[in-house]
Amino acid sequence: MKLSILLCLFVVISVFSQRSYDEVIKTDGKIQDLVQNEITGVIVFKGEGKISGINPETKKIIWTLTKEDYGNASTMELLDDADLDKMFKEKKALKSVPNSPYVEVNINSKFLIVNTDTGKIVYNSSKEPFWVIQSDFLPETNEYLLTLKEKGNMNIALIDLVSGNIKWKTSVDKAKSIFSFSLKDVGNVNKAQVNGATIYYLLYGKLYSFNRDSGKLNWKSEEDYTKFFPTQNDNNVVVINSTGTFSTKDYLNVLSTETGKSIWKESIKTKSIVYLEDWGTKLLIAHFSGFNFFDLKTGEKIWKKDARGDGLKKVIPIDKDFLYVAENEMMLINKDGEKLWKNFIEIADDKADPIFYLGKVREKVMYLTGTYGNMVDYKSGKKLWKRNIKFDKDRPVLPTYDESTNSYLVYNDEKLYKFNPSIDDKPEPFAKVDIKREKELNSIEMFPWGVSLSGPVEVMGVGLDGSVKYHLTYSQPGETGRQLLKGVATAGSIALSAASAVTGIQGSEWTMTTRDEDGNVTSSVVKQKDKAKLNQSGAAAEGAAAMAMVAAKFGSRFNAMKQNRDFSYIFAKAETGEKMLVKVRKSDGVEVDKLVFKNNHPIYEIDPATQNIFYVLDDSIEIFNKK
């Protein structure tokens, strides 16, 4: 029976042959870069001396900018500056700005901000006597903070995107200091944040406080920091300094917002800060050596004893309780630091084992680590199963959750497990599969009939009865060093499912959660990397008419672009040697489309809203309509 199913599938997928583009946009020079704005959907490309925008629905060029619009090269670009020359070579020509309709353009050493909806240049640095080194969009106010090099100084400027004018410019340091950091580290080092009438800017290790209206520098920090978090009382800033390549330490302290000086006698020094909460008059700080409340004003411990003395590595707030992992064990405590379970629960063989999922599922706590899987009763802390599922820690562990049936499917070591809180003991695998490139698997999707597993060059569907519904594998041209672009990451096989239990754990970075004195969450600023959130910028930009308009106009398109669980897009090599992009439907394994690509490093965008594909080939943009 399985053989006949596979034979039928072979016939189905073989019907589709490779095809060329449906439409093409020709330009008068080689296309250097192409991006899609996540809000408006406009495809922006840069050619020789031109920047253009394409409407994703009509597939027509709706605006074009030339030198007449953004200006000719100035004499500044002829100056001999090795550092700046290196910097501009490393920068991409185009960058779509998350949570906005804007795209940044670096052209002839100029810095432009373009509204992709209208093609209007909302800021142009060509007539300015400075170089733009760093740029930070402030969605709260629809403004931009720019870091500049000007006459040997490093300046900060605030740009109003409505008028395109510089609201203020303030000198902060000598320019030579800005090149002590690698450009690749800038995103991790520099951060701007609006907090009421103040702009805080962590720039190359130093924290600056500016008056947002006038640009007056309130203060510059005496020490170097890597993270900062304004507190809810507006009187303090929590700062962290992560130091050392070989000897990693975190130092946490609290500064006065008036002076920028520490209000604590000494910093908390630990191997790593794990989790932070602001409770108004006290801070909950979980770090490698302990888990405790500290008085915000004095830094003194409020609890007499740490919840755990060593090896703390993860904290998950659940209502007013805290589930945390220390070394290879977990415990549940309340806001007073009291243990709610009688014993710690071992969740892994080794303290270095990764945690793939840990969280509350209704009245149960489920954990999936590099070695074990099990469920625990939330109130009693007792394991539901007498035996753990034993995972191979050297192989991927991929879970997915089906809310309608309150069931999990988990993949590990070519086996699939299904379980839910109602079963008495660990489940045996319901399927054993032969994955060719297992370590590259990165997506698991649940369907009514079973589960789909996928990676960059492989897609498999497995029924709940254990039968293999389909299995497609491909070879990839120019695999070594090939750049996977944002379009693929958004809509293709390398994106984790939005419904996957693992999504919220992997790829996230914490900041600081705010609670009232009773422990009720008032706001959380935990953010997910690489997943823009329009609702955050929309709410923050309540007073910014431009951003509010964008949110209303393009909200539905943005929602369509968040995730695509239905298809895998695989860059592959046919038996004839031709290159192609294969579109595979995960629900049944059918190769819906095969598109002819002609180079090993393709630049392309997949528009998730229309499923049209825009592919760059020399001086053309080839458009493949949805099939």
Q: How confident is the model at residue 403 (pLDDT cuts 50, 70, 90)?
A: confident
Q: What is the mean pLDDT of the chain?
A: 81
Mean pLDDT, residues 285-296 taken together: 88
Residue 524 has pLDDT above 60, yes or no: no
pLDDT for the residue 159: 94
Mean pLDDT, residues 461-478 taken together: 91
Q: How far apart are CA 444 and CA 451, in angstroms?
A: 7
Strands 513-515, 273-278: parallel, antiparallel or unpaired by DSSP? parallel
According to DSSP, the residues that pair with 372 across neighbouring strands are 390
Q: How far apart are CA 513 and CA 515, in angstroms?
A: 7
pLDDT for the residue 355: 86
Write a three-state SS string for 224-277: CCCEEEECCCCCEEEEEEEECCCCCEEEEEEEECCCCCECCCCCEEECCEEEEE
pLDDT for the residue 110: 83
- Residue 572 and residue 474 in contact, taking contact as beta carbons nearer than 8 Å: yes
Which of the pair, 166 or 537, is modelled with greater confidence? 166
pLDDT tens readout for residues 4-13? 333 334 333 3
pLDDT for the residue 108: 76
Q: 562-601: string of b/e by CB count within 10 Å (b at 16+)?
A: ebbbbbbbbbbbbeeeebbbbbbbbbbbbbbbbbbbeeee
Q: How far apart are CA 390 and CA 402, in angstroms?
A: 22
pLDDT tens readout for residues 116-140? 999 999 999 887 888 888 889 988 8
Which residues, in sequence order, are CB contacts of 448 under 8 Å at separation 6+?
A: none
Which of the pair, 77 or 103, is modelled with greater confidence? 103
Residue 404 has pLDDT above 90, yes or no: no
Look at the block and give the residue holding tokens 């995972």: 391
Q: What percent of the chain has pLDDT over 90?
A: 41
Q: What percent of the chain has pLDDT over 70?
A: 79
Greatest alpha-carbon pair distance for the chain in Å reads 77
pLDDT for the residue 178: 52
* Range among 208-222, 533-547, 558-572 rated most confident: 208-222
Q: How confident is the model at residue 556 (pLDDT cuts 50, 70, 90)?
A: low
Q: How far apart are CA 128 and CA 109, in angstroms?
A: 12
Which of the pair, 315 or 622, is modelled with greater confidence? 622
Mean pLDDT, residues 585-613 taken together: 91
Look at the block and give the residue holding tokens 């130092």: 251
Which of the pair, 589 or 272, is modelled with greater confidence? 589
Q: How confident is the model at residue 192 (pLDDT cuts 50, 70, 90)?
A: confident
Q: How far apart are CA 201 and CA 565, in angstroms?
A: 38
Mean pLDDT, residues 182-198 taken together: 69
Mean pLDDT, residues 72-95 taken together: 62
Q: How far apart are CA 572 and CA 207, in angstroms?
A: 47
Q: How confident is the model at residue 258 (pLDDT cuts 50, 70, 90)?
A: very high
pLDDT tens readout for residues 48-63? 889 999 999 999 999 9
pLDDT for the residue 558: 55
pLDDT tens readout for residues 346-402? 999 888 888 888 888 778 888 888 888 898 999 999 998 888 889 988 888 888 877
